[in-house]
Amino acid sequence: MSILHSPFEAQRDPDQPQFELEGWIDSAPFEDLLEMTIESAEAGRARLRMPFLVKHAQGGGVMHGGALTSLADTAVAMAIKSLLPPESFFATTELTMRFLASVKQGEVIAEAVVHGPEGRTFIGEADLINDGVTVATFRSVFKLRRPKGAGDDAQAV
């Protein structure tokens, strides 16, 4: 769980240390907002869970697709972190989510695995499971930041 040094609703100021993580594999403020829990992350695999709370519902009463996509994306990110040294920077550059069934109650478990790196690229996959049923499948591409000194756009992903 992240440690906040500013109010949760404060505008982000990149020049101020407004939060910190307790460890390399830890939830950031956004994951805390959605109440995700990291159960495990090692050897390119991760397992996270998220309860279906009222604040996660869309207008029809089922879990919002954005909440599910966030869970899957975070699970893949934790699987990648399990392979990289602390302070590595990477970002999602592509993602595809395939929804198979609605989530009406309970909790959702994300089981993620990553392949790579191939150069600076990782391919991630996650299954989202609710009450023993796969409700969505996720596929993504993540890129590592270019090494410093790799050109004018060295900070670009």
pLDDT string in tens for the chain (157-residue length): 889 999 888 999 999 899 999 999 999 999 999 999 999 999 999 999 999 999 999 999 999 999 999 999 999 999 999 999 998 999 999 999 999 999 999 999 999 999 999 999 999 999 999 999 999 999 999 999 987 665 545 455 6
Q: Count other Cβ atoms within 10 Å, centred on residue 42.
A: 13
pTM above 0.95, yes or no: no
| Residue 5 C-alpha from the chain's centroid | 22
Domains of the chain with bracketed CATH: 23-144 (3.10.129.10)
Whether 72 contacts 99, CB under 8 Å: no
